Amino acid sequence: MPTYPSVTPPSDLYVAVNGVNTRYWQMGDRGSKIILLHGGNGSIEFWLYNIAALARYHQVYAFDMVGSGKSDYPDGSYSLGYQAEFLHGLMSALAIDRATLVGNSMGGGVALEFTRLYPDRVDRLVLVASMGLGQEISLGIRLITLRAIVKLLRPGRWMIPAMLRSNFYNSRQLPPEWIEFRYPVFAIPGRNRVILRLGQSNFNLAGVRAEVYQPIVASLAQITHQTLIIWGEYDRILPVKHAYVAAEGIPNSQLAIFPHCGHHPYLEYPAKFDRLVLDFLAG
């Protein structure tokens, strides 16, 4: 069983990115810069047990991606390209010339798309159960492309057990305090419009849209950055076989599969994840 330190969330900071009020955390004043990218419909609370450990050696930024968490919810397609351009704007607003991108799920897809568009702005890549490497994705994600389904969504605590079961190998090992930090952000009202746009921009009932993942897969061989790929063996959201697509496609890559782990290795095994990332960055 992993151990979780008692933590205090960093102070919320805000920056305007292309007119969008954007919440972020920043820790660390030495070493290279790291940007943590959470998954779709997530928030920076997902990195609660990682940011301080990484910030002992690096300057670490985590932000509520556009349309997520406590950042603004502007009109937009919420495609990977749209989100990658938003990341470019965030880096400019915070005067970050170059950074290592650590992306989970949709955040990994954004990291891959950003690397395709702006390779000179990327130092290294850490892809954690990344979207964009194949069509397959869970039924629950595919259903958020349906307006009638999304219209019925009313965030409530009754949803938490089912969501945890789908996202984690053993959700009972998660600290109750993390759920208390995350739930108020998850339950912010009025996000159905963004969830639908996020879904329809990237998915259909068959899975990830071909026009989303195929250009990424076709360009993997052109990624020259050192890349660490991390996946949970029992990921129910994105299948572990996508990890091998990345590992076989990206020339300078290394792969770590976490046993007894679901879609969020950094949250299920934070100490193990942090050591792996720090060793990778120091190597």
Looking at domain 13-282, its CATH architecture is 3-Layer(aba) Sandwich (3.40)
* Contacts of 148 by beta carbon, 8 Å cutoff, 6+ apart: none
Residue 226 phi, psi (nearest 5): -60, 130
Residue 241 phi, psi (nearest 5): -65, -25
Q: Do 94 and 17 touch, CB atoms closer than 8 A?
A: no
Read off the pLDDT of residues 98-148 as tens digits, 9 standing for 90 and up: 999 999 999 999 999 999 999 999 999 999 999 999 999 999 999 989 988
Read off the pLDDT of residues 245-265 as tens digits, 9 standing for 90 and up: 999 999 999 999 999 999 999
Please state the domain extents for the chain. 13-282
Residue 30 structure tokens: 């030495």
Q: Do 110 and 136 touch, CB atoms closer than 8 A?
A: no
Mean pLDDT by 10 residues, the chain (283 residues): 83 96 97 97 94 97 94 90 96 98 98 98 98 96 88 72 86 86 82 87 96 97 98 97 98 98 97 98 94
